[in-house]
Amino acid sequence: MKKIDTIVFDLGGVLVELGGMKTMHAWMGNKYNDERLMELWLSSKTVRNFETGKCSPKVFVENIVKELELPVSPDQFLDQFITWPSGLFPGVQSLLERLGEQYTLVSLSNTNEIHWPIVMNDLGLHTYFHHHFPSHLTGRFKPDLKTFQNVLTTLGKSSNQILFFDDSATNTAAAQKLGIKAIRTIGFEEVARAATRMNLLNAA
């Protein structure tokens, strides 16, 4: 069995702090817990279309406000949506720098043309990764199995060479179906604890 040599990271909620959850809860009357709200977002046809590059930001904001029956205008939603990636969790840069010396680092994110340049350029994540698989450019959306298979095929890796961190149980479960070691981590502290537990910095 080949050992893990590639670490794949989801971005939002794992490395990048997202401010949108609290806003969405308020707009939706606090009817759902975080996990259910994430499920609604992942299962939304409107979100999928936007985050696979199939519609414009204008169409996205108009449709998502209608679909989720949000009590705001499309322009108000957009103003808030732009601010969702609020920064990197403390310690992210240091750990990625150290892991990048021993592993191939990959980002695999359901994202879009609004948030992608923010997390890559404004937050500086482009400097830490060897490969990126943003959904709006690949046209592939987690938790579809083809999304993970595309990573394996493109990188020429077998599933047992990959370690995957994501804050969605749905996404980690999908990756595990292909034999990928996938760990659900909510927030960067859980990533750091997992890295310590698995001895990642000394295992290569």
Q: Which two tokens stand for residue 75?
A: 């322009």
Q: pTM to 2 decimals? A: 0.93
55: Cα within 13 Å, side-chain hemisphere:
15
Dihedral sign of CA atoms 112, 115, 117, 119 in order = negative
Determine phi and psi for 31, rounding to 5 degrees.
-80, -20
Q: Which CATH architecture has domain 20-81?
A: Orthogonal Bundle (1.10)
- Class for the domain spanning 6-17+85-203: alpha beta
Summarised one tens digit per residue, pLDDT across range 67-123 is 999 999 999 999 999 999 999 999 999 999 999 999 999 999 999 999 999 999 999
- Those residues whose C-beta lies under 8 Å from the C-beta of residue 122, and which sit 6 or more positions away, are none
Domain 20-81 in the same topology as domain 6-17+85-203: no
Q: Read off the pLDDT of residues 153-168 as tens digits, 9 standing for 90 and up.
A: 999 999 999 999 999 9
Domain ranges of the chain: 6-17+85-203, 20-81
* pLDDT tens sequence across 184-201: 999 999 999 999 999 998
pLDDT at 202 over 90: no
The residue among 32, 33, 13 whose CA lies nearest residue 185 is: 13
